[in-house]
Amino acid sequence: MALRVTVWNEYIHEKNEERIKKVYPNGIHGAIAEMLGKTTDFIIKTATLEEPCHGLTDEVLENTDVLIWWGHCHHDKVPDEIAKRVQMSVLKGMGLIVLHSGHLSKPFVKLMGTICRSKWRENDELERIWVIEPSHPIASGLPEYIEIPQEETVKNIELCRCWTSEKNLAKITEALNIDVHKLFLPVESSIQKDSENISQIKQTIAEELKSYIEIKLNEIIK
C-alpha cells in the first residue's frame, strides 16, 4: 500500500529571490515531491503557507501518513490553530519530518515541549540519532539508533562565525576532483557566461557566412 505523503513548504523566498527561484522554479516542495514521485511507493500532495488554511485542512491531514515540513523564517505566520491541528494529527499517529529550520516551526515546538533552540558547532563529531518509537511505520526496519560518523552543521560557516576543517575541505575537493584553491575562486555569473558564449557563436556564424559568400562570389566571377 502506497504511503500518503504531504510536502509542506513556506514557498516565499523561492518567489521573492530570483537566484533561489532559478534553482527551485516549482518551489522546494515541488522539488521534494518530484523526487519522491519517482517511485510508486508514495502518493504525493503538496501544501504551502499562502494557500487557504495554509494547505493543511482537517481533510488533508486525515489523508496524510507522513507530513514533510520545510520551514525557513516565516514560522510566526503559521496560526496556532494550524499548528495545534498538525500536533494532534502527529499524536494520533501521523509521521512528521521537519527539514531545514523546521525545528523552530510551531508544530515541532509544540510536540517537543521546549523552545527547540539549537547550538551550532563544527567539530567532526559523531552524532547518534535515536529511534524513540520503533513501532511507528516511518521507523520500520530501522535499528535502535543511527550514527553519523562526522556530523557537521553549516549555519556558523554561512554566517562566517567559524570555518570548516581541513579534513572536510580535503574530502570535498577529492569528491569534486578539483584543487582546493578552486573552492575559493569567485563564482562566475552564469548569465554573463551565457552572454559571452552567445556573442562568440554569433561571431563564428558571421565569419563563416562571410567566408561562404566570398567563395560563392568568386565562383560566379570565374
Give the residue-averaged pLDDT of 25-38.
93
Whether residues 105 and 137 fall in one domain: no
Which of 15, 85, 78 lies closest to 57 in space, CA to CA?
85
Q: Say whether 193 sits in a helix, a strand or coil.
A: helix
Whether residues 69 and 7 fall in one domain: yes
Q: Which of 56, 84, 116 is the last residue of a domain?
A: 116
Q: Which of 82, 101, 116 is the last residue of a domain?
A: 116
Count the domains in the chain: 3
- Yes or no: say if 124 and 168 are a contact pair by the CB < 8 Å rule: yes
Rounded-to-integer distance, Cα 113 and Cα 118, Å = 14
Rounded-to-integer distance, Cα 217 and Cα 29, Å = 60
In the predicted model, is pLDDT for residue 81 greater than 80?
yes
Whether residues 55 and 109 fall in one domain: yes
Whether residues 134 and 176 fall in one domain: yes
Q: DSSP assignment, residue 153?
A: -
Whether residues 110 and 2 fall in one domain: yes
| Better pLDDT: 94 or 123 | 94
Whether residues 191 and 92 fall in one domain: no
Give me the pLDDT at residue 138, please: 75
Give the residue-averaged pLDDT of 178-200.
64
Whether residues 3 and 68 fall in one domain: yes
Percentage of the chain lying above the pLDDT 90 cut: 41
In the predicted model, is pLDDT for residue 190 greater than 50?
no
Rounded-to-integer distance, Cα 93 and Cα 106, Å = 18
Whether residues 155 and 64 fall in one domain: no
In the predicted model, is pLDDT for residue 207 greater than 60?
yes
Give me the pLDDT at residue 1, please: 81
Whether residues 124 and 111 fall in one domain: no
Percentage of the chain lying above the pLDDT 70 cut: 82
pLDDT digits (tens, 9 = 90+) for 140-188: 888 999 887 766 555 555 555 566 677 777 777 776 677 877 767 665 5
Q: What are the distances in angstroms from CA 38 to CA 30, 31, 43, 44, 60?
A: 13, 11, 10, 10, 22
Whether residues 101 and 165 fall in one domain: no
Give the residue-averaged pLDDT of 183-207.
66
- Yes or no: say if 97 and 116 are a contact pair by the CB < 8 Å rule: no
Rounded-to-integer distance, Cα 108 and Cα 106, Å = 6
Which of 55, 69, 131 lies closest to 98 in space, CA to CA?
69
What's 3's domain CATH number? 3.40.50.880
Give me the pLDDT at residue 205, please: 83
In the predicted model, is pLDDT for residue 38 greater than 80?
yes
Q: Which of 94, 116, 138 is the last residue of a domain?
A: 116
Whether residues 109 and 4 fall in one domain: yes
Which of 195, 193, 192, 171 lies closest to 183 in space, CA to CA?
171
Give me the pLDDT at residue 208, please: 83
Give me the pLDDT at residue 188, please: 52
Spatial neighbors of 173 by CB under 8 A, at least 6 apart, are 179, 180, 182, 183
**Could you identify the residue written with the cell 516551526?**
105
Give the residue-averaged pLDDT of 186-198.
56
| Better pLDDT: 99 or 164 | 99
Whether residues 27 and 102 fall in one domain: yes
What residues make up the domain containing 133?
119-184
Q: Is the dihedral of CA 12, 99, 45, 58 positive or negative?
A: negative
